[in-house]
Structure 1
Amino acid sequence: MKWDPSKYVQFADHRDRPFYELTARITAAAPRLVVDLGCGPGPLAHSLAERWPDARVIGLDSSQEMIEQARSTQQSPNLSFQSADATQWMPEADTDVLVSNAMLQWIPEHRELLATWLEALTPGAWFAAQVPGNFGSPSHALMRQLAASARWAPQLAGVLRHDDAVGEPADYLKIMVDAGFEPDVWETTYGQVLTGEHPVLEWVRGTALRPILSKLSAADALEFEEEYSGLVAQAYPAFADARGERQTLFPFRRIFMVGRKR
């Protein structure tokens, strides 16, 4: 699946906020190695390098497009970026902070991987991750329903994950406890206000719609987007604010987990 770094950062204010609220709970004083697993185009890994200037900070991502973008803007001397497949990756022995921001939901077996990573981390190490918890919301449910319709199923059968792509907070809490972590797990629903003519479509173009776009021709992708956009316009009706500008309320639930190994 090919990623578009410029599309991914289109809603940076909304997408970055959970990362900063997540990492604010990490109180590591002088980590040796900090890993951003699923670093995307790199700006959030830069913030980790600035926070811990004496640490070696590595940003890892399976997308070559994302890694190239990250390297093109690399500034911190203690920061590097590498291509890595998270399903084959294991933390090094001196990893003191492992961060994963909105990445685990792309891996069906991430619960098992998470347990393995936490087991491998040494006592005193920190783990922090957040995942979207909105797979049951209209933005995703309507996409799955459309992909499963008679028109699109022959091309898109099995492409999209179901509504169990992530666990519930209690699932991650148990994984962390079993691995010997002192867990802090919570969820937040952000009341995001998006602007523009088709804001929900623009939002999912950067993330959830990528698997579909990678399977369809340009003409078919346009047709799918037009049909999907009509469905979500009904689910997320636009309204005019006090200045008469078009606004769309897009609630977004996220699940957070942070912990330090005993």
Structure 2
Amino acid sequence: MADMQGARHWNENNSRSFLDYGRYFVPERERQIDMIADLIPAAPGGLLVELCPGEGLLSRALLERFPDSRVLALDGSAEMLEQTRQTCRNHAARLTTGAFELSQCDWRTFSEAPQAIVSSLAIHHLDGRQKQMLFADLAAALRPGGLLVVADIVRPPSAAGLAIAARQWDEAVRSRSLAIDGDLAAFAEFNRLGWNYFRNPDGEPIDKPSSLAEQLAWLSEAGFTEVDCIWLFAGHAIFSGRKP
């Protein structure tokens, strides 16, 4: 998301903004979580890894959906990790959290090959080359048959596409603000913070979303099969690939 303090890196102020307003700012948030979980095949005792869990809602959903599996949640924000532990406290015995830097490579091998790696609203902070390297490293880390699922903002290649994504995101946040609180206070904050990337796509160096087509191609180049996008709305997409 946009860096609300004008800095070039995500910081704990950004984390606090997302924890406070994520339920308003993420289009079809609950549906996205369900779709990500639906993509993952059940495997008794398997390891699931989430990159940048934020509030921990997806990690909790995975723990609930797959009671024989364990979740490793990695984040660069201490506040996000603490919130994830609180959100998943009823499943604490099957949750491990750890600090990492998404752009670094030192965390990309695991003592146990994961059955799935998921990430939501994080990978767009990497540039194109970094995404390519990440996809290749995650393909190597997964066990055979393992799945990578990415939910993220993607950059439309045309001005018309950017305008549509911007309008849809505004409409989604406006609708969620009314549905949750009955007023437009959260939508006003969304505008005040400048959170809609598609309104000013070249304004924040922290945001580096690539096009959906590029990322699907990079997954294929990394060796993934069954590469597909299952959902796209308001410039947000869910796409995945399976390791042969």
Measure, in 2, the Cα distance between the counterparts of 1:38 and 1:66.
Answer: 8
Q: 1:23 touches 1:128 (CA, 8 Å); kept in 2? A: no
Q: Percent identity?
A: 25
Measure, in 1, the Cα distance between the counterparts of 2:232 and 2:221.
Answer: 27
Q: 2:143 touches 2:243 (CA, 8 Å); kept in 1? A: yes
Higher Rg of the two aligned structures:
1
Measure, in 1, the Cα distance between the counterparts of 2:116 and 2:223.
Answer: 15
User: Residue deviations 1:210-237, cap 9 Å, x none?
Assistant: xxxxxxxxxxxxxxxxxxxxxxxxxxxx
- The verdict on how the C-alpha distance between 1:30 and 1:8 changes in structure 2, with shifts beyond 3 A counting, is same
User: 2:101 — aligned with what?
Assistant: 85
**Matched residue SS, 1:122:** coil
Q: 1:34 touches 1:95 (CA, 8 Å); kept in 2? A: yes
Indicate whether 1:106 and 2:125 are aligned.
yes
What is the letter of the counterpart of residue 108 of structure 2?
A: M
User: 1:140 — aligned with what?
Assistant: 197
Q: Which has the higher strand share?
A: 1
Alignment of 1:124-135 (within 5 A): 124-133=145-154
What is the letter of the counterpart of residue 124 of structure 1?
A: G
Q: 2:155 touches 2:209 (CA, 8 Å); kept in 1? A: no
- The verdict on how the C-alpha distance between 1:144 and 1:54 changes in structure 2, with shifts beyond 3 A counting, is closer
Indicate whether 1:176 and 2:158 are aligned.
no
1:123 Cα deviation (Å)?
A: 1.5
Shift >3 Å, 4+ stretches: 9-13, 134-139, 141-145, 158-161, 187-190
User: 2:84 — aligned with what?
Assistant: 70
User: 2:113 — aligned with what?
Assistant: 94
User: Residue deviations 1:120-160, cap 9 Å, x none?
Assistant: 32322111112112573444354457x5xxxxxxxxxx645
User: Residue deviations 1:56-104, cap 9 Å, x none?
Assistant: 2111111111111122232113123222222232041421111111210
Q: 2:48 touches 2:72 (CA, 8 Å); kept in 1? A: yes
RMSD: 2.5
Q: Which TM-score applies when normalising by structure 1?
A: 0.62
**Matched residue SS, 2:115:** strand
- The verdict on how the C-alpha distance between 1:18 and 1:91 changes in structure 2, with shifts beyond 3 A counting, is farther
**Gap runs ≥5 in structure 2:** 1-10, 157-161, 167-195
1:6 Cα deviation (Å)?
A: 2.1
What is the letter of the counterpart of residue 62 of structure 1?
A: G
Measure, in 2, the Cα distance between the counterparts of 1:83 and 1:172.
Answer: 26
User: 2:241 — aligned with what?
Assistant: 259
User: 2:209 — aligned with what?
Assistant: 166
User: 1:60 — aligned with what?
Assistant: 74
Measure, in 2, the Cα distance between the counterparts of 1:60 and 1:144.
Answer: 27
What is the letter of the counterpart of residue 213 of structure 2?
A: A
Aligned length: 187
What is the letter of the counterpart of residue 100 of structure 2?
A: A
- The verdict on how the C-alpha distance between 1:144 and 1:55 changes in structure 2, with shifts beyond 3 A counting, is closer
Measure, in 2, the Cα distance between the counterparts of 1:169 and 1:183.
Answer: 15
Q: 1:133 touches 1:255 (CA, 8 Å); kept in 2? A: yes
What is the letter of the counterpart of residue 84 of structure 1?
A: F
What is the letter of the counterpart of residue 83 of structure 1?
A: A
Q: 1:28 touches 1:126 (CA, 8 Å); kept in 2? A: no
